[in-house]
């Protein structure tokens, strides 16, 4: 039988990965005009720009999506804030079709490693030296994929804004989850902020500490000797954590 500490790690991990997987539709509302910007974010007022910028500026939407798709390797922090919930911060590393996410909650560190080439995703708990193979269909999108995917929703450019010293093109669009805005860093086509407004309120994602480094491939591998659990036993294991369970 799995030890209770491992069961708790799995429960926390499942809750956290659900938060990360839903990143495409969460976040916090940006400051309204006249309100104070969040600490550490130098935000200048939005200025309207044409939907199609002058030729040669390299900031048309097609140019921005092209820049995003050309990103080979990047790491960043992702801060998710949604109505009625505390903010959640994770660290992510992306290289090609591989992604690593690190997050800590309730004192429990959880790492997810996703390999799109192998169609594999693992939830790894370093303290327990244990990993759990996840359903790859539930794999979350990276920030790059998030930016490029909005092209399917016919986004409209509504202006420009500087966030954290990064000049961004601001676009709005309507997704299945609700109306949305995204701030795309003109230099790289990388998202800096996204807002999603749904019936339950306005949420926000902020991408911070963005670095375009060459990431080692071993960052996306499980350490040797890690115990890999069979998800087929997950249901009975979770039942045993409930009152009256084993």
pLDDT band at 231 (very low <50, low <70, confident <90, very high): low
85 within some domain: yes
244 within some domain: no
Q: What is the CATH number of the domain that holds 104?
A: 2.50.20.10
43 within some domain: yes
How far apart are alpha carbons 76 and 100 in whole angstroms? Answer: 11
C-alpha 134: how far from its chain's center?
17
pLDDT band at 229 (very low <50, low <70, confident <90, very high): confident
246 within some domain: no
How many domains does the chain divide into? 1
**Among 18-27, 73-82, 163-172, 213-222, which stretch is predicted with the lowest mean pLDDT?**
18-27
pLDDT band at 244 (very low <50, low <70, confident <90, very high): low
206 within some domain: yes
160 within some domain: yes
Give the neighbor-by-neighbor strand order of the sheet with 130-133. Answer: 156-163, 166-175, 178-185, 191-198, 201-211, 73-81, 88-95, 98-105, 108-115, 120-125, 130-133, 227-229
Q: CA dist 191 to 13, 141, 205, 232, Å?
A: 26, 13, 10, 37
Give the global pTM: 0.74
Question: Which residues constitute the domain of residue 91?
Answer: 4-239
**Among 73-77, 110-114, 135-139, which stretch is predicted with the lowest mean pLDDT?**
135-139
* pLDDT tens per residue across span 153-168: 999 999 999 999 999 9
Of 112 and 177, more confident = 112
- Does pLDDT of 1 surpass 70? no
96 within some domain: yes
245 within some domain: no
């Amino acid at each position: 039988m799995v030890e209770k500490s491992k069961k708790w790690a799995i429960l926390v991990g499942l809750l956290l990965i659900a938060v990360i997987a839903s990143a495409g539709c969460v976040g916090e509302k940006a400051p309204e005009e006249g309100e104070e910007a969040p600490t550490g974010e130098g935000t200048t007022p939005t200025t309207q720009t044409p939907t199609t910028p002058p030729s040669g500026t390299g900031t048309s939407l097609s140019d921005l999506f092209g820049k995003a798709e050309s990103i080979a390797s990047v790491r960043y922090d992702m801060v998710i804030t949604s109505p009625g919930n505390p903010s959640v911060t994770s660290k992510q590393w992306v290289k090609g079709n591989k992604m690593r996410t690190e997050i800590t909650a309730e004192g429990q560190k959880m790492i997810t490693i996703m390999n799109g080439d192998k169609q594999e995703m693992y939830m790894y708990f370093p303290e327990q030296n244990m990993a759990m193979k996840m359903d790859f269909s539930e794999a979350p999108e990276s920030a790059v994929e998030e930016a490029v995917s909005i092209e399917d929703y016919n986004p409209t450019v509504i202006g420009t804004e500087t966030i954290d010293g990064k000049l961004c093109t601001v676009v709005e669009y309507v997704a299945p989850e609700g109306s949305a805005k995204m701030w795309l860093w003109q230099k790289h086509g990388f998202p800096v902020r996204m807002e999603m407004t749904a019936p339950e309120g306005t949420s926000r994602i902020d991408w911070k500490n963005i670095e375009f480094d060459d990431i080692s491939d071993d960052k996306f591998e499980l350490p040797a000797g890690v115990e890999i659990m069979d998800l087929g036993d997950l249901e009975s294991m979770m039942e045993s954590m409930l009152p009256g369970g084993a």
